Amino acid sequence: MALTSIITVNFHQTEVTIALLESISKSYSAKNVEVIIVDNGAEKNQELIFHPHFDNIKYIQSKANLGFAGGNNLGLKKAKGDYVFLLNNDTEIPAGCLEAMIAEMETNEKIGLLSPLLLYYDQKDLIQYAGYTPMNYLTARNENIGSFEKNTGQYDNQSYETGFCHGAAMMCRKADLLKTGLMDESYFLYYEELDWCEKFKSIGKKIWFTGSTYVYHKESVSVGKESAIKTYFMTRNRMLFIRKNTSWANTILFSTYFTLIACPKAALNLILRKRFDLAKWIFKGLLWNFTHTKSSTNLGFSIK
């Protein structure tokens, strides 16, 4: 098997990251896998904590919290593998996962980014992701294929082009990465993988799903199912994604819909549920787009 670089970002979740390492070490060794751990927002160097759990670890400490994109970018810069596999630290992989992913990519040179079937860790027969439908760029809406379906093998050995990969687990070739460049760190959290997919599409590559293997995902370990940070960045980055990746005419149409319909509707829903603490972050995320250019890297965010 070709050398594969697995990159994972740890953010104050040492035990979760160790569980990922242990799942990797059950099937793989330093001979064909390097694991790059980016310790995001880490005041102390924790390298010695991780090393006993896998034979080939590159540890990168970042005292600043660089977010999903910034953290992964640190790892991407250090990756030496022919293939690079970005894995959330709240995932675990089965035996044969890497071989199946690489085999899929080697059968089709047009594949730029590849994601496997994602299953919920706590309910291992429940599907989280089996691809995405194409996006409607006027509303920035699409559908998650397979979501909450019981896994009865319906996606086994299926392979097809998909709208977007899933940020929890996605593989690319190092050679393609050199052409597309790194993730856009102005997203900080959420939508950066969708934006990265657009970069791969721009060099003529396809975004792909395979059901020939799977990854278990401990969904929302990092930020929780509902939180201020998730509400803010999901709002902020949905509009930023459209601004960056569509025409000015599409951006104007989307912005009108998003400002006058989608955001007020979402805020009202939160207010009716008495989540006043979250409603304000929708408007903060919306406002950010009117005060920052699409190339700005000033995140302008703090929880107060």
DSSP string, the chain: ---EEEEEEESS-HHHHHHHHHHHHTT--TTTEEEEEEEET-SS--HHHHGGG-SSEEEEEESS--HHHHHHHHHHHH--SSEEEEE-TTEE--TTHHHHHHHHHHT-TTEEEEEEEEEESSSTTBEEES-BPPPBTTTTB--BTTTT-B-SSTTTT-EEE-S---TTEEEEEHHHHHHH----TTS-SSSHHHHHHHHHHHTT-EEEEEEEEEEEE-TTTTT-SS-HHHHHHHHHHHHHHHHHHS-HHHHHHHHHHIIIIIHHHHHHHHHHTT-HHHHHHHHHHHHHHHHS-TT---------
Look at residue 220 in the predicted model and tell me its pLDDT: 54
Look at residue 304 in the predicted model and tell me its pLDDT: 35
Full-prediction pTM beyond 0.85? yes
Look at residue 301 in the predicted model and tell me its pLDDT: 39
Q: What are the Cα distances from residue 209, in Å, to 30, 50, 151, 171, 268?
A: 27, 31, 16, 10, 36
pLDDT along the chain (304 residues), means of 10: 95 97 95 96 96 96 95 97 97 97 97 98 95 97 96 96 97 96 94 97 98 91 70 97 97 98 97 94 97 60 37
Look at residue 104 in the predicted model and tell me its pLDDT: 97
Q: Which CATH architecture has domain 4-217?
A: Alpha-Beta Complex (3.90)
Look at residue 1 in the predicted model and tell me its pLDDT: 81
